[in-house]
């Protein structure tokens, strides 16, 4: 039987793939990078306040999208899902807050973030 699967078009792969992703643990001090792609470093500016720095810059600081989520162990009884709120997007980095509400910043056991857009 002949192979009928065609390779994906380069445009589809380039436009449909995450240009950055990372898995982090901010409960550790300093923050721990579990695994990543296109990540040069992460800085910790306080409880639930972090900045991600890219290895390869995005084409623009305004034309890429960041999504993320996280969870935090609560008294060894389970995990609560929390929000990741990205701010200060630039072509080389973005800052984000981990919180249950906008006023409740906290460090998470697990953080997962990805960014979609065009690289420079």
pLDDT at 82: 66
| pLDDT tier at 4, thresholds 50, 70, 90 | low
Angle in degrees, CA 22, 95, 64, rounded to 5: 70
pLDDT at 54: 96
| Each residue's pLDDT tens digit, 50-108 | 999 999 999 998 889 998 888 876 655 555 556 678 889 999 999 988 876 556 788 88
Give the distance between the most distant pair of CA atoms in the chain.
60
pLDDT at 87: 86
* Exposure on the CB side of residue 13, measured as CA atoms within 13 A: 4
pLDDT at 81: 58
| Each residue's pLDDT tens digit, 10-60 | 555 566 688 999 999 988 888 999 999 999 999 998 888 999 999 999 999
Angle in degrees, CA 81, 99, 36, rounded to 5: 70
* Beta partners for residue 44, in sequence order: 50
DSSP state of 7: P
Where do the domains of the chain lie? 19-117
Containing H/E element for 107? none
Q: Are 113 and 84 contacting, i.e. CB atoms less than 8 angstroms apart? A: yes
């Amino acid at each position: 039987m002949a192979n009928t699967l065609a390779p994906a078009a380069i445009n589809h792969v380039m436009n449909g793939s995450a240009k950055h992703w990372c898995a982090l643990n901010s409960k550790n001090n300093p923050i721990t990078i579990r695994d990543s792609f296109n990540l040069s470093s992460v800085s910790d500016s306080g409880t639930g306040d972090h900045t991600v720095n890219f290895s390869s810059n995005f084409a623009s600081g305004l034309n890429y999208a960041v999504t993320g989520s996280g969870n935090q162990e609560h008294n060894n009884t389970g995990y609560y899902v929390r929000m990741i709120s990205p701010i200060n997007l630039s072509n080389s980095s973005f800052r984000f807050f981990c919180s249950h509400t906008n006023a409740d910043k906290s460090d998470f056991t697990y953080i997962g973030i990805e960014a979609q857009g065009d690289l420079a």
